[in-house]
Amino acid sequence: MELLNVFIRSAFIENMVLAYFLGMCSFLAVSKSVKTAIGLGVAVIFVLTITVPINWVIGELVLGPNGIFKMDLTFLRFILFIASIAATVQLVEMAVEKYSPSLYNALGIFLPLITVNCAILGAALFMVARSYNFSESMVYGIGSGIGWCLAIVLMAAIREKLRYSHVPAALRGLGIAFIITAFLGIAFMSLMGINPATYFAK
Amino acid sequence: MAESAIKTTVPLAPKEGWWGRKERSLITDPLHMDNPITVQVLGVCSALAVTTLVKPALIMGISVVAVTGFSNLVISSLRNGIPKQIRMIVQLVVIAALVTIVELFLKAFSYDVWKQLSVFIGLIITNCIVMGRLEAYAMANKPWKSFLDGIGNGLGYAWILVAISAIREFFGRGALMGYKIVGPSSDFLINTKSSALLSWYQPNGLMVLPAAAMFLIGTIIWIQRSREAKLVDIS
């Protein structure tokens, strides 16, 4: 039950994009068509699912006071987390290129760009800040990845429809994308007061 | 005679000053026509999160200026020795080291602001401005110019941050830099409660939400693009 709670919170209530506004740059840049948005979204789910548990292991077993060095190395957190993320993305890229060239071609440049998606490092830092255990951090990674993917597909669908509407010239493209994201964020705020745990308890 | 003829025909090598027109434009371009937030769409995440109050926004802006400037300088000095395959890891390690220095510096000298910014100082690492400028400029240019490019882009980011945070703090809390200006309160030099001119204002809760920053950036883009036809998105 606790895991389901973490999952629902991370995917909807504390959605990375629409509640915390993380991973905004690629969210705005890649949401022009639904097809590429789905490709990037799936890649983000994949990377988050792998890196959050890996970073949990690094945080506990290498940097923590009970880790292999027996001292508090938390000031190295940023460097090790981002290095593990960059290495994971690079590995994922090589594996995808080798075993599924068609998927590799479909994702193109968006695969390496995931490294600088703040949602990935943000998820690792939130995991530390909320002191999740291993299974919770695993579910948190999957949940926040799915939340990010849903948000970018939603946005891409809206922007595809928007092409047929009459927007002031100076606001077209980037400007209106910002304003739509603001409205989506306000809409997602209505989920904020919900605590899934109370529903499961019934 | 012949000597002087030769001298005049040899073209003078283009003088590379430290502070020529090109160098100045590296600083001024990102402030308006090539702004990282409104034109290049880099570094939007942190622009939303830290702009509820002016003070953290100002400190965040200064930190980003320092990190972009020095990471550009370091990567540009190392650019010929970095293998292509691992350049992302090298860049990120340099950025992460600089951000860690900034974080420890803030923790030591300005603890309350450090607490307020918390996770977002760490997120400077993944602030796309830093990595974007490394890829787009520092990997192909000399250290001094790269340094100026970093400082310029950092400043372009910082002024948007401060402008948005000033609007949000004024309308959302009736204050600036933590000092109450309008609205019913008595905690500043002027007792705004007794003045009918200042006490009528009710703080607008919408401005405190991150969504307000999205609206404001959208509006800034709108204003900028209606003044500069070159920037309008034709597609």
Residues of A in contact with B38 (CB under 8 A): 174
Residue A180 near residue B218, CB atoms below 8 Å: no
Residue B54 near residue B169, CB atoms below 8 Å: yes
For the segment B98-137, what is each residue's pLDDT rounded down to a tens digit? Answer: 988 988 888 898 888 888 776 678 778 877 788 888 888 8
Q: Which residue of A has its CA nearest to B37?
A: A25
Question: Is A175 close to B218, i.e. CB distance below 8 A?
Answer: yes
Question: Is B119 close to A122, i.e. CB distance below 8 A?
Answer: yes
| Among candidates B45, B89, B233 on the partner chain, residue whose Cβ is nearest the Cβ of A173 | B233
Six-digit token string for A22: 């993380």
B181, B182, B188, B194 alpha-carbon torsion, rounded to 10°? 150
- Largest Cα–Cα distance of chain B, in whole Å? 88
Residues of A in contact with B104 (CB under 8 A): 75
Say which residues have a Cβ less than 8 Å from residue B45's Cβ, sequence separation at least 6.
A21, A22, A23, A24, A25, A118, B123, B127
Question: Is B126 close to A189, i.e. CB distance below 8 A?
Answer: no
Nearest to residue B79, comparing CAs of B66, B65, B96, B94? Answer: B94
Please state the ipTM of this predicted complex: 0.78
Six-digit token string for A192: 């904020």
What was the pLDDT predicted at A13? 86
Question: Is A182 close to B212, i.e. CB distance below 8 A?
Answer: yes
| Among candidates B45, B92, B225 on the partner chain, residue whose Cβ is nearest the Cβ of A86 | B92
What was the pLDDT predicted at B5? 47
> How does the average pLDDT of chain B come out, rounded?
80
Q: Which of A15, A16, A18, A24 to mutate to test the interface with B (most CBs of B within 10 A)?
A: A24
What's the distance, CA A75 to chain centroid?
Answer: 24
Residues A151 and A183: their CA atoms lie apart, in Å, by: 13
For chain A, say whether B101 makes contact (Cβ under 8 Å). Answer: no
Residues B234 and A173: their CA atoms lie apart, in Å, by: 8
**How many interface pairs between A and B have CB atoms less than 8 angstroms apart?**
132
Domain boundaries, chain B: 36-228
For the segment B178-211, what is each residue's pLDDT rounded down to a tens digit? Answer: 777 776 665 555 555 566 666 677 778 788 888 8
For chain A, say whether B118 makes contact (Cβ under 8 Å). Answer: yes
pTM listed for this prediction: 0.80
| Among candidates A21, A79, A116 on the partner chain, residue whose Cβ is nearest the Cβ of B131 | A116
Q: Is A21 left (phi over 0), alpha (psi -120 to 50) or beta?
A: left
Residue A170 near residue B233, CB atoms below 8 Å: no
For the segment B169-178, what is each residue's pLDDT rounded down to a tens digit? Answer: 888 887 787 7
For chain A, say whether B105 makes contact (Cβ under 8 Å). Answer: no
How close A170 gets to chain B, by Cα (Å)? 5
Residues B13 and B143: their CA atoms lie apart, in Å, by: 20
For the segment A34-86, what is each residue's pLDDT rounded down to a tens digit? Answer: 888 888 888 889 889 999 999 999 888 888 777 777 777 777 887 888 888 88
| Among candidates B46, B99, B214 on the partner chain, residue whose Cβ is nearest the Cβ of A179 | B214
Residues of B in contact with A129 (CB under 8 A): 118-119
Residues B75 and A53: their CA atoms lie apart, in Å, by: 31
- Write the CA distances from A99 to A110, B174, B178, integer angstroms: 18, 58, 56
Residues of A in contact with B43 (CB under 8 A): 25
Question: Is A86 close to B212, i.e. CB distance below 8 A?
Answer: no
